[in-house]
A and B are shown apart, each in its own frame.
Chain A
Amino acid sequence: MELIKPGTNIDFVGYRHAAVLISTALNIAALVLLIARGGPNYGVDFSGGTVMDIRVTPAPPIGDVRAALASVKLGDVTIQEFGGTGEFLIRLPLAETESAAAAEAATSKEVSEALDAKFGKGKIDVLRVESVGPRVGSDLRRKAILAVVFSTVMMGIYIWFRFELRFGIGAAIALIHDVLITVGALMLFNFEFDLTIVAALLTIVGFSVNDTVIVSDRIRENMRKSRRESFASIINSSINETLSRTILTTGTAILVILALFFLGGNVIHGFAFALLVGFTTGTYSSIFIASPVVLVMEPVRARVARRK
């Protein structure tokens, strides 16, 4: 079976202006969203505070849970329901002071006591409690941003080292593009940013650069082979020759991510969503962003080469 017939020659390079326009617009939209909302929607890992995941059997209306917790003074509590299964996510704000971390731990106890009182003991199953203090939260936030930035730079340097500087720059720009769009999509669909999202972002960085490597590798090979062809057409034929592989690999990866997204459960829902968006844009950006950057920089390179 063949999806892409040999000899296919789609003029990807010709679409580069439109692609750059669309991508820039999407990136600006993501940035605007990020700034307008004052940063991403941090989960407890990064913002600090407590989340409790509970299951009540038989499933009560959410109002009952809210009423049960109204008696406990916990500040700004949010309660969220997972599709009528009796599963609720209760979020408690961060305790006011650092030394109140112990007091904060007590609040999750208060919540389960209040729920026990309302629904009866044994009806409540506490599935998960996560409680993060303010110092840990800000620490993780700083490390997460560092990890994403550092890995992006590392990838750029690796490509530079293996190929040429302009390939490295192209790869780095494509990665920033992918991360921004993924972050924007997560915000648009109101996913919380937790540690697994950072894991997803780093995986996206690693995967997206994969495609760039494959295309760059082919460009280098074709440059050696045919010196007479224009650089733009070398890039274009390289993309076309690797297109079948690009689509297959992204396709199988997307297949398993879809399985994770639909079957993997609540805990990794956001993670799978981020991968879905990131892998898709990663493939797109390798073709439409990374390679054009290399092309744009061709005159620069030629001038430098002439001067030498």
Chain B
Amino acid sequence: MGLVGGLIVLAVVFLVPTYYGAKPEGWPGFLPGPIRLGLDLQGGTHLVYTVDVDKAIANHLERAAEDLKNEARNDQIGLNGVTAENGVITATLADPAKRDALEKLISDRFPNLSLTNDGSGDTVRAKMTPASIREIRDGALDQSLEIIRNRVDQFGVAEPIVQRQGTQDVLVQLPGIQDPERAKALIGKTALLEFKLVAKDPSEPGAITMAGREVDQVTGRVTRTEYKVEPRTLMTGDIISNALPRPGTQTDPRPYVEVEFNTRGAKIFEEITGANVGRRLAIILDGVVQSAPVIQERIGGGRARITGSFDFKDARDLALVLRTGALPAPVHVAEERTVGPSLGKDSIRQGILSFAVGGGLVVVFMLVYYKVAGVLADLALILNVVFLLAALAAFGATLSLPGIAGVVLTLGMAVDANVLINERMREEIRLGKTARAVIDAGYERALPAILDSNITTFLSGIILFQFGSGPVKGFAVTLCIGIVSSVFTAVVGTRVVYDFMLSKRRLQTVSV
């Protein structure tokens, strides 16, 4: 009796914040807040990004090829070329006699590479070791997760969720977001910033072609241009310490992004500008040339501005992604679920309506069918709903639309335990037993069946929880909690009342 009473008080206390929609003032911090609504009820965007880890590995291999070229040059091993393709680095020696020296260099100084031993004559081949591939994969995912989390945090959404999912995905949930398209673009942008020199002569050997876009300030017409740039990347965005959007100046009304370099970056930038006065420096974002200003003088102080064809909002988003850093690999949206706020409201209304109507029908039915025992079953049912909701609040579980359906379904299935008990009691009454014996036998005999039948449903709920995602998980959670609380309220809760009636009222007959 004390147990049931205590639990009721606790459950009601847990539900106070849900009733008010927030914790009332002075409400103790350790108590749970209101029941959290799923994205399908409050509106919002659920995104799953796949990190292209293969690309991260390919990038690493290319960088290793570049390093190998430099190391070989330092050791005076002449190379005709180094390529990185399909996970294999192939170095072509100018002098086949230097083969041993190059192989020694690779095994000594490149722990990430292992020689494949299938090169012949003037070629040496090497590929990444499985351990380093695993490391790159994990690293790329962890780093992407971190960067995406930073971007989401700076984007400013209340209670976002960013977490790793499986071996290559990042899950992002943005509740109540107004402009999912912008968020999507912002989170998924690789934001790899590179600085390269524009080739002096377009026909310069080795110069590569890069796309650029320019918007005419007057007509607003977008023209696609091409730049011939030197292949070497002078610096990348990782030396940026801060980036801020700026409105245009009097002389140039275009908004721009001001970037601040860290100490190392400032030094590199000063050296580069000093050595290349009069040449054009291409500022490239994700493979597209944003602008290619002429270097007027050596630039100290560690600041630069990126102008390009964008408005202030674009500048703000660009500054945000530059601040949070480049993703180590491209990401793609693998799954998107967006629910607008109006559908969420409709769903809540429909959920509550079906709850009220379904629950009402069951309550009336039990009352008519079992009379006093029906009243008890109905009380147990109401208590069950209170416990179920309190448990959702206490565990911080999320209530989704299928979750509401789970609550409604629980209403219909929870009475089963009382039906089993009541049917048993009717059988015992027919045998002509006393009230106490009827009640004892009814509860005792019905219990194994109640437990077995609820355990099976609970098991399928757990399997569903394992399988499901988002809203479906919410259904599994309410189903499982509902089962536990319904067994408790139906078996223990109603029994307490019978015991009370037996001891205080000297109950002679059981109304069932």
Of the residues A202, A213, A265, contact of B347 by C-beta under 8 Å? A265
Q: Kindly state whether residue B34 has any CB partner on chain A within 8 Å.
A: no
Of the residues B188, B340, B476, contact of A127 by C-beta under 8 Å? B340
Closest residue on chain B to residue A143 by CB atoms: B467
- Find out whether the CB atom of A263 lies under 8 angstroms from the CB atom of B353: yes
Segment at the A interface, from B95-103, B196-204, B305-313, B355-363: B355-363
When A and B form their complex, which 6 residue pairs have the shortest distance between CB atoms, in order from nearest? A259-B358, A206-B460, A256-B412, A256-B358, A206-B457, A127-B343
Q: What is the CB-to-nearest-CB distance from A136 to chain B, in angstroms, rounded to a whole number?
A: 5
Assuming A105-B184, A127-B342, A249-B419, is B337 touching A256 (CB within 8 A)? no
- Find out whether the CB atom of A130 lies under 8 angstroms from the CB atom of B336: yes
Q: What is the CB-to-nearest-CB distance from A234 to chain B, in angstroms, rounded to a whole number?
A: 17
Assuming A210-B456, A264-B405, is B188 touching A102 (CB within 8 A)? yes
Q: Kindly state whether residue A29 has any CB partner on chain B within 8 Å.
A: no
- Find out whether the CB atom of A271 lies under 8 angstroms from the CB atom of B405: yes
Closest residue on chain B to residue A157 by CB atoms: B459
Q: Kindly state whether residue B42 has any CB partner on chain A within 8 Å.
A: no
Segment at the A interface, from B262-270, B280-288, B446-454: B446-454
- Could you tell me which residues of chain B, from 320 to 371, have a CB within 8 Å of some CB in chain A? 332-340, 342-343, 346-347, 350-351, 353-355, 357-359, 361-362, 365-366, 368-370
- Find out whether the CB atom of B357 lies under 8 angstroms from the CB atom of A249: no
- A268 to B332, alpha carbons, bound, how many Å? 29
Closest residue on chain B to residue A106 by CB atoms: B181
Q: Kindly state whether residue A296 has any CB partner on chain B within 8 Å.
A: no
- Find out whether the CB atom of B408 lies under 8 angstroms from the CB atom of A260: yes
Q: Kindly state whether residue B142 has any CB partner on chain A within 8 Å.
A: no
Q: Kindly state whether residue A151 has any CB partner on chain B within 8 Å.
A: yes
Binding site for B on A (CB under 8 A): 1, 3, 6, 53, 55, 98-99, 101-102, 104-105, 109, 125-133, 135-136, 140, 143-144, 146-147, 150-151, 154-155, 158-159, 162, 195-196, 198-199, 202-203, 205-207, 209-211, 213-214, 217-218, 241-242, 244-245, 248-249, 251-260, 262-265, 267-268, 271-272, 275
Known: A196-B402, A254-B412. 9 other contacts (CB 8 A): A1-B369, A53-B343, A127-B346, A147-B467, A154-B459, A202-B460, A252-B362, A256-B361, A268-B405
Q: What is the CB-to-nearest-CB distance from B429 to chain A, in angstroms, rounded to a whole number?
A: 10
Interface residues as binary, B439-471 with A (CB distance below 8 Å gives 1, 0 otherwise): 000000000110011111111110110111101
Indicate the size class of the contact surface on chain B. Answer: 35 or more
Q: What is the CB-to-nearest-CB distance from B477 to chain A, in angstroms, rounded to a whole number?
A: 11
A155: B residues at CB distance < 8 A: 456, 459-460
A sample of 14 cross-chain residue pairs with beta-carbon separation below 8 angstroms, ordered by A number, consists of A1-B368, A101-B333, A126-B338, A129-B338, A135-B50, A144-B467, A195-B468, A198-B467, A202-B461, A203-B479, A206-B461, A249-B415, A259-B361, A264-B354
- Find out whether the CB atom of A205 lies under 8 angstroms from the CB atom of B460: yes
Of the residues A102, A217, A248, A262, contact of B333 by C-beta under 8 Å? A102
- Find out whether the CB atom of B409 lies under 8 angstroms from the CB atom of A256: yes
Q: What is the CB-to-nearest-CB distance from B61 to chain A, in angstroms, rounded to a whole number?
A: 19
Of the residues A130, A135, A206, A242, contact of B337 by C-beta under 8 Å? A130
Q: What is the CB-to-nearest-CB distance from B261 to chain A, in angstroms, rounded to a whole number?
A: 30
Of the residues A132, A159, A253, contact of B412 by C-beta under 8 Å? A253
- Find out whether the CB atom of A252 lies under 8 angstroms from the CB atom of B415: yes
- Find out whether the CB atom of B335 lies under 8 angstroms from the CB atom of A133: yes
B180: A residues at CB distance < 8 A: 129
- Find out whether the CB atom of B472 lies under 8 angstroms from the CB atom of A196: yes
- Find out whether the CB atom of B335 lies under 8 angstroms from the CB atom of A132: yes
Assuming A206-B459, A252-B412, is B475 touching A199 (CB within 8 A)? yes
- Find out whether the CB atom of A264 lies under 8 angstroms from the CB atom of B457: no
Q: What is the CB-to-nearest-CB distance from B334 to chain A, in angstroms, rounded to a whole number?
A: 4
Q: What is the CB-to-nearest-CB distance from B492 to chain A, in angstroms, rounded to a whole number?
A: 20
Q: Kindly state whether residue B420 has any CB partner on chain A within 8 Å.
A: yes
- Find out whether the CB atom of B457 lies under 8 angstroms from the CB atom of A210: yes
B430: A residues at CB distance < 8 A: 6
Interface residues as binary, B171-207 with A (CB distance below 8 Å gives 1, 0 otherwise): 0000000001100100010000000000000000000
- A254 to B361, alpha carbons, bound, how many Å? 11
Of the residues B343, B351, B463, contact of A147 by C-beta under 8 Å? B463
- Find out whether the CB atom of A259 lies under 8 angstroms from the CB atom of B408: yes
- Find out whether the CB atom of A158 lies under 8 angstroms from the CB atom of B455: yes
Closest residue on chain A to residue B415 by CB atoms: A252
B456: A residues at CB distance < 8 A: 155, 158-159, 206, 209-210, 213
- A257 to B413, alpha carbons, bound, how many Å? 10
Closest residue on chain B to residue A132 by CB atoms: B335
A150: B residues at CB distance < 8 A: 463
A55: B residues at CB distance < 8 A: 342
- Find out whether the CB atom of A214 lies under 8 angstroms from the CB atom of B420: yes
- Find out whether the CB atom of A268 lies under 8 angstroms from the CB atom of B412: no
- Find out whether the CB atom of B334 lies under 8 angstroms from the CB atom of A101: yes
Q: What is the CB-to-nearest-CB distance from B329 to chain A, in angstroms, rounded to a whole number?
A: 12
- A26 to B336, alpha carbons, bound, how many Å? 38
- Find out whether the CB atom of B472 lies under 8 angstroms from the CB atom of A154: no
Q: Kindly state whether residue B401 has any CB partner on chain A within 8 Å.
A: yes
Closest residue on chain B to residue A265 by CB atoms: B350
Q: What is the CB-to-nearest-CB distance from B377 to chain A, in angstroms, rounded to a whole number?
A: 10
B333: A residues at CB distance < 8 A: 101-102, 104-105, 131, 133
Q: Kindly state whether residue B258 has any CB partner on chain A within 8 Å.
A: no
- Find out whether the CB atom of B332 lies under 8 angstroms from the CB atom of A199: no
Q: Kindly state whether residue B40 has any CB partner on chain A within 8 Å.
A: yes
B50: A residues at CB distance < 8 A: 101, 133, 135
A244: B residues at CB distance < 8 A: 423
